[in-house]
């Protein structure tokens, strides 16, 4: 208890079940802190954190920055669009330049899978992966599980279906690892073209009928169709996708039981999820965003306490 088995958060793959429980218990305390009238604690006064984003992000970047500030860390932000990366600087050079300004921790999002792992082997700082290509997005998976735990009491034994663009989704992969680690049953559902080959080898089942999948599950995590990552056409039209794999109020109301709806954001309203479902009381999308700050505070706090 009370120490993580890792010094970087590169992916859920490298965590064990105890780590996840420790992060959740710490996040419980921080959730109480961020609901106070004064939402700030001075723990990380002597820690400097660099947020390095080589890919666009609104929610994750804001959430990390807020978490860092609530812990009183000093924060520097860097986005690739306005940087020397454009002039041909390598990743290690960029980060080492930032680190020579005495930075203790790096939060990085990068379009290439494994960028965080590469960095952790070459750079002396604690690394948090905020999404690396279609590989992993560990804090999102943690906050998703944390939200399920908050809503349903426990993750163990729950049935979760992940719907949509599994192929391009780092959220899906991290979620599968996290849910399996906590003893949940996972199903994926989406058009055949957007399901990776051999996905069953991760211990999940595949379903192509959305209604069947929804009737089976306790929680449905609706993923965004990642048009920006699609180099070819994976389905005929957006309208057809919405009809086959989008969830709407009629479908939701016709199910045998009340299920919990989640979405990692940003939402394409009317594509994977209709507006009335996104705003319904079964949806915990905004709770996910709130929990995101608490989870990120917990991860940063725990990793920072292990910096030697």
Cβ proximity to other proteins, 13 vs 40, nearer residue: 40
Q: Residue 104 CB, nearest distance to other proteins (Å)?
A: 10
Buried b (16+ CB within 10 A) or exposed e, 221-246: bbbbbbeeeeeeebbeeeeebbeebb
Cβ proximity to other proteins, 8 vs 187, nearer residue: 8
Cβ proximity to other proteins, 257 vs 308, nearer residue: 308
Residues pairing with 261 in the sheet: 220, 283
- Contacts with other proteins by CB under 8 A lie at 1-3, 26, 28-29, 32-33, 36-38, 40-44, 46, 71, 301-302, 304-307
Q: Residue 303 CB, nearest distance to other proteins (Å)?
A: 10
The contacts of residue 25 (CB under 8 Å, 6+ apart) are: none
Cβ proximity to other proteins, 215 vs 305, nearer residue: 305
Q: Residue 109 CB, nearest distance to other proteins (Å)?
A: 26
Q: Residue 187 CB, nearest distance to other proteins (Å)?
A: 35
Residues pairing with 205 in the sheet: 187
Cβ proximity to other proteins, 33 vs 115, nearer residue: 33
Nearest of 273, 72, 91 to residue 165 by alpha carbon: 273
CA–CA distance from 32 to each of 1, 3, 25, 220 (Å)? 21, 21, 11, 27
Q: Residue 156 CB, nearest distance to other proteins (Å)?
A: 22
Cβ proximity to other proteins, 32 vs 200, nearer residue: 32
Retrieve residue 44's tokens.
């990380």
Q: Residue 15 CB, nearest distance to other proteins (Å)?
A: 16
Cβ proximity to other proteins, 220 vs 295, nearer residue: 295
281-284: long-range pairs with CB below 8 Å, 24+: 282/252, 282/258, 284/147, 284/151, 284/260
Q: Residue 41 CB, nearest distance to other proteins (Å)?
A: 4
Nearest of 223, 257, 60 to residue 152 by alpha carbon: 257
Buried b (16+ CB within 10 A) or exposed e, 27-49: beebbebbeeeeeebebbeebbb
Q: Rounded to 5 degrees, what are φ and ψ at 260?
A: -95, 135
């Amino acid at each position: 208890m009370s120490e993580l088995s890792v010094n970087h958060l590169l992916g859920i793959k490298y965590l064990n079940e105890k780590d996840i429980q420790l992060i959740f218990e710490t996040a419980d305390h921080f959730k109480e802190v961020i609901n106070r009238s004064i939402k700030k604690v001075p723990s990380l006064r002597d820690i400097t954190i660099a947020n390095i984003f080589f890919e666009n992000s609104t929610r994750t970047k804001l959430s990390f920055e807020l978490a860092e500030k609530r812990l009183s860390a000093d924060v520097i932000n860097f986005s690739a669009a306005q940087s020397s990366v454009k002039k041909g600087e390598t990743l290690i050079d960029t980060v080492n330049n930032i680190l020579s300004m005495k930075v203790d921790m790096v939060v990085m999002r990068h379009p290439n899978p494994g960028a965080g792992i590469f960095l952790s082997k070459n750079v002396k700082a604690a690394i948090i992966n905020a999404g690396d290509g279609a590989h992993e997005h560990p804090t999102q998976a943690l906050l998703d599980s944390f939200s399920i735990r908050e809503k349903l009491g426990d993750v163990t034994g729950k049935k979760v279906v992940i719907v949509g663009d599994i192929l391009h989704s780092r959220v899906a992969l991290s979620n599968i690892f996290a849910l399996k680690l906590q003893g949940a049953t996972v199903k994926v559902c989406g058009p055949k073209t957007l399901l990776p080959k051999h996905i069953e080898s991760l211990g999940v089942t595949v379903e192509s009928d959305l209604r069947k999948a929804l009737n089976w599950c306790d929680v449905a995590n609706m993923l965004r169709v990642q048009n920006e990552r699609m180099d070819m056409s994976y389905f005929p039209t957006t309208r057809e996708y919405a009809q086959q794999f989008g969830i709407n109020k009629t479908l939701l109301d016709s199910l045998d039981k009340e299920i919990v709806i989640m979405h990692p954001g940003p939402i394409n309203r009317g594509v994977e999820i209709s507006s009335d479902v996104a705003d319904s009381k079964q949806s915990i999308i905004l709770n996910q965003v709130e929990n995101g700050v608490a989870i990120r505070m917990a991860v940063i706090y725990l990793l920072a306490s292990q910096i030697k």
